[in-house]
Amino acid sequence: MLYPHPSLSPLEVVRIQALALGTNDSPHADWGIEMVWRFASPANKAYTGPLRRFAQMVHNPLYKPMINHAGAAFSEPTVVGADAQVDVVLQTTRGPLTYRFILHRQDGGDFAGCWMTEAVGPLQ
């Protein structure tokens, strides 16, 4: 399933996004980034959007290693109420890099009950 849905767990949401970034330009340029955008929460989109601006952000040096990575390993999600986090170790051209995905289960609107990404950041 490539759209937010209440049946998707936090781990499934992060897997969809990370694996899409691993094949970012297939079937078309920045397809993976579009998948990440699709699963970004409304609050995240309001802060980082529109999509074109979001794509530029993902192409910056902090996030660029996520694009076309060679593999991913996922931690078990830590879930507390409507908040979750999943750490992902990506095999990149710079070696293994870990990113933390922070998710929130949406409590209203078009995405009620869906886990969506609030933020992503590198771990040192």
Tell the CATH superfamily of the 10-123 domain: NTF2-like; domain 1 (3.10.450.100)
Peptide bond into 50 cis (omega under 30): yes
Q: What percent of the chain has pLDDT over 70?
A: 99
d(CA 43, CA 23): 26
Write down how long the chain is.
124
Q: Is the peptide bond before 77 cis (omega within 30 degrees of 0)?
A: no
pLDDT tier at 1, thresholds 50, 70, 90: low
For residue 41, pLDDT over 80 is answered with: yes
Taking only the tens place, the pLDDT of each residue in 63-81 is: 999 999 999 999 999 999 9
For the chain, the domains span: 10-123
Q: Half-sphere exposure of 43 toward its Cβ, with a 13 Å CA cutoff?
A: 12
Per-residue pLDDT tens for 79-108?
999 999 999 999 999 999 999 999 999 999
Residue 60 and residue 51 in contact, taking contact as beta carbons nearer than 8 Å: no
How far apart are alpha carbons 41 and 50 in whole angstroms?
13
**Which has the closest alpha carbon to 99: 21, 4, 35, 8?**
21
